[in-house]
Every structure is written in structure tokens, then in C-alpha cells.
Amino acid sequence: MPPLTIAIIGAGPGGLLLARLLLRSPPPISVSIFEAEASATTRSQGSTLDLRPGGGLKAMREAGLWDEFCAHARWSGEALKVVDKKLVTWLSRSGGSQTEPREWGAAPEIDRRVLRDVLLGSVGEGVVRWEKKVASVEVDDGTGKGVVRFVDGGEEGGFDLVVGADGCWSKVRAAVSEVKPVYSGVGGFSFSISDCERRAPEVWKLVDGGSVFGYSDSKGLNGQVLGDGSVSVSAWGVRGEDWMRERGYDVYDLEQAREGTKKEYVGWAKELTNMLDAVDDDVVPRSLYMLPVDFAWEHKRGVTLLGDAAHVMTPFAGIGVNMALQDAMELAHAIIDAAKETGKSVGKDVLDEQMRKYEKELFPRMHAAQEITDGAMKDMYFTEGAPRTSIHRWCSTVAGHDMHPLVRPVFTAALYTYFFIFRMFV
């Protein structure tokens, strides 16, 4: 029997990890990744990601990339402060240690660009086909083989499976569902402070090697340290979907975006607004979209999804990349199991059976993650008086979701009691 042929659309972390795992499979599997970008350096790869035990950290070990990950990871990046606009600290966590990692809640940071480079280097030359922007995906009803059509008019076919790992506006998703992402109600800017320790030492001290999240008045102002010594600054707020056109200034101009954003944070502690004063690079305006929390698709032979293509959500619980990497692991297991059985089970479509199983197990897991993320967003951006009025619920949602079911009620009760008492003194 010829090897299974797999087309992966999108060279993000989820798509690259899936390719890495399939290429390491004992049964030979043919893998091609089609990526719309011209190269790995075409655009900024965003901020920093925290990898967690059941998702990203497990994925690095399974992919044989643990040592490379550790060479770039920052356990000190686990440091976290959640504050309000007056700089009252509602939650504080110290940085971690690689030699003595936390028994629970480990979440070392790695720059998204670096993680992608590690994964990209692991799949070898020629696997990623650059400048292959997908227009549509179809499955031939007669052969069951997938066909990928590109915007330049070309096409490639004969795939046993086409995997959509192509993000929020997935073209592959359109092959299995008409549902599109909806606006979350939150938008804003991402900025950067280069050489932060030298240029803005007061900001460097505030973020303390990790992250600071400031919330008040349906807005957020956040800073996160990156591996190159810069600090990523994001300013989010509740606003209409047409907010970019309604700003009255050029949202792509750094100076105009910075000055316009500073006006929205009048009355916030100077320690926080110092971040906006110091930004000097990389302004990116963004409106945040999400799939409905109960989204699922009817199974279709020859096509499936992972990561944001399957369950795009806002970044406010920090679990998106971990979900994508876990999806990739589970999908790789299913494809490899099918490859082992193909040819042994005459008259059975083993791959299709494995895809049905993958999707059946994926849906409840992704719905839980979507609910957690949606809850975290509502707690801080759509709850009056946040974080004072919602920090207990936010902590329970974000920190407690991966606890053992018997432990979480005790943890939640302790949290609620602690914050009930804490609020009496602040």
C-alpha cells in the first residue's frame, strides 16, 4: 500500500507540530504544508506564548524537541501581576525555575517567533510550500481524495486528508461548515518597546521578567517581556466592530495610534501608562474574532481542522496555542494509527473512522476551552467594576480549569473566601 498523503494548510505552530509528528511516524506518511506567506520572516509572529503541561510542554517532549525548547524558554516569564488602573495588585505570582519547576501551574514562556522557528527547523527542507495561498478545498465524491485549489489558479490533489490549520479565517473550514467567526466586541492595539531595560527601566521593573495585566473600565493595558529584551504592549477595549474607521486618526501610524490610545487611559496609574509613552515599534491594530462557543461541524470524509481553524477564541485565557498543539498531537495519533492499519482492514476506510473519533473527542475539549476563554473575557471586559468585582471568578476560571474535578471546588471556595476578605481592605 502507498503511504497516506496528508496536506496541511497553514504553517503555524499547530500545523508544523502535526507535520513533525507524522514525519517521525514508523509507517511512512507523505506530508505537505501549504502556507500563504512568502517566507517565515514575512510578518511579525506576535508576542509570547506560555506552554502548559497538558498541551505545549507535552507536545515538545513528544516531538523530541524538549532540549531545543528549553534552550529558548523563560521560566522567569511565569511572573504575573494582575492590577487595576490605580495599580492595586489583585493577583501576583513569582517567576519559576527550570531546575525546580512548579508542581502545578507550570507555564514557561517562549516567543511565538522562536517556537515557530524551532518547529519549522524540525520538519526539514521542502515540507513547507511557501506562497501557496489556498482559495478552496474540495473532496472528490468518487475517489474520496482531497483537492486543494490556490488563488493563483493552480491546484494539487490526491490527498487522503486535508487538515485545516489555517487560523481564524480558514479556507478549509468552509469545506465543512458555513459558520464564520463573529466579532467578540473587543479590539485594540499591539505595540512594542525595544531594548526596554535601557530605554524604559520603569516599565522593565514593572513587568519583572514576566507579565503585567491591567484591567479597569472595560479596558486592558498589558505588558509582556520577550526573549530579545523587548516588551510587547497591548491595549484592548470594548468597542464597536467599525472602531478602526471611527478613530479619527490613522490606526496604522505608530505616533497617531500611541497618542490616540493614551487619551483612553487618562486617570490610570503612571506606572501603567509609562508603557504607552515608551512604545517605539510595531503597531498592529486588531479586532478580536471568535467562533461560537458551541461550534462544531458535520463530519466530512477527507477533511478536518485543528487550532484556530477549529476553535478560534480571544487570547484572554492564554490557552489557544496549547489547544492547537494538543489538537496536533491527538490528530497525529489518529493518522498514525490509521497508517498502521491501512491495508490490513479490507473494505474499511480506517482513516475516516479515525477522523470521526478525533472529532468526537475534540468537540467537548474545545467547547470547554472556548467557555473558559469567553468567561475570562467577560469577567474583565464586560463586568462592571472589574477586576474588583470579578477577580475571584476570573482566577477560578483561568487557573482552575485544568485541576482535578475533586480539587477544583475546594480551590474555588478558598479563592472566593480569600477575595471576600481581601476586598475589605482595598
Secondary structure element (H or E) that encloses residue 7, with its range: strand 4-9
| Residue 385, SS3 per DSSP | coil
For residue 419, the model assigns a pLDDT of: 96
- Kindly indicate the confidence band of residue 407, based on its pLDDT and cuts at 50, 70 and 90: confident
Round to whole Å and give the CA distance between 257 and 4: 49
Strand order in the sheet with 231-238: 89-93, 80-83, 211-216, 219-225, 231-238, 182-193, 281-290
Q: Which three cell numbers stand for residue 46?
A: 506576535
pLDDT at 85 over 90: yes
Strand order in the sheet with 128-129: 128-129, 29-34, 4-9, 161-164, 303-305
For residue 220, the model assigns a pLDDT of: 98
Strand segments (E) across 277-347: 281-290, 303-305
Of the two residues 153 and 97, the one the predictor is more confident about is 153
- Kindly indicate the confidence band of residue 218, based on its pLDDT and cuts at 50, 70 and 90: very high
**Residue found under cell 490526491:** 158
User: By C-alpha distance, which of 126, 122, 115, 129 is closest to 33?
Assistant: 129
| Residue 339, SS3 per DSSP | helix
Round to whole Å and give the CA distance between 118 and 348: 37
Residue 319 φ/ψ region, left for φ over 0, alpha for ψ in the -120 to 50 degree band, beta for the rest: alpha
For residue 45, the model assigns a pLDDT of: 58
Question: Of 42-51, 235-244, 322-331, which gets the smallest average pLDDT?
Answer: 42-51
Domains of the chain: 4-46+114-180+293-374 (3.50.50.60), 182-290 (3.30.9.30)
Chain centroid to CA 159: how far?
27
Cβ atoms within 10 Å of 154's Cβ, excluding its own: 10
For residue 344, the model assigns a pLDDT of: 67
Q: At what angle do helices 350-381 and 320-341 cross, to 10 degrees?
A: 170
Residue 393 φ/ψ region, left for φ over 0, alpha for ψ in the -120 to 50 degree band, beta for the rest: alpha
pLDDT at 299 over 70: yes
Question: Of 202-206, 341-345, 358-362, which gets the smallest average pLDDT?
Answer: 341-345
Mean pLDDT over each residue of the chain, to the nearest integer: 94
For residue 142, the model assigns a pLDDT of: 83
Average pLDDT over every residue of 136-146: 91
For residue 348, the model assigns a pLDDT of: 61
Q: Which three cell numbers stand for residue 158?
A: 490526491
Q: What percent of the chain has pLDDT over 90?
A: 87
Phi, psi angles (nearest 5°) of residue 50: -105, 125
- Kindly indicate the confidence band of residue 133, based on its pLDDT and cuts at 50, 70 and 90: very high
* pTM of the full structure: 0.95
Q: What percent of the chain has pLDDT over 70?
A: 97
Would you list the DSSP string of 209-255? Answer: TSEEEEEETTEEEEEEE-TTS-EEEEEEEE--TTHHHHSSS-TTSHH
For residue 280, the model assigns a pLDDT of: 95
Residues 6+ apart with CB under 8 A from 266: none
For 154-204, write each residue's pLDDT tens digit: 999 999 999 999 999 999 999 999 999 999 999 999 999 999 999 999 999
- Residue 302: is it exposed, middle or buried by C-beta count within 10 angstroms (0-12/13-18/19+)? buried
Terminal Cα distance for the chain, rounded: 69
Q: What angle do CA 366, 367, 369 make, to 5 degrees?
A: 65
For 18-62, write each residue's pLDDT tens digit: 999 999 998 899 999 999 998 887 766 568 999 999 899 999 999
- Cβ atoms of 134 and 169 within 8 Å: the answer is no
- Cβ atoms of 107 and 149 within 8 Å: the answer is no
Of the two residues 408 and 327, the one the predictor is more confident about is 327
For residue 47, the model assigns a pLDDT of: 86
Q: What angle do CA 392, 395, 285 make, to 5 degrees?
A: 115
For residue 345, the model assigns a pLDDT of: 58
For residue 127, the model assigns a pLDDT of: 97
Cβ atoms within 10 Å of 192's Cβ, excluding its own: 22
For 193-210, write each residue's pLDDT tens digit: 999 999 999 999 999 999
| Residue 179, SS3 per DSSP | coil
pLDDT at 98 over 90: no
Average pLDDT over every residue of 234-248: 97
- Residue 66: is it exposed, middle or buried by C-beta count within 10 angstroms (0-12/13-18/19+)? middle
pLDDT at 346 over 60: no
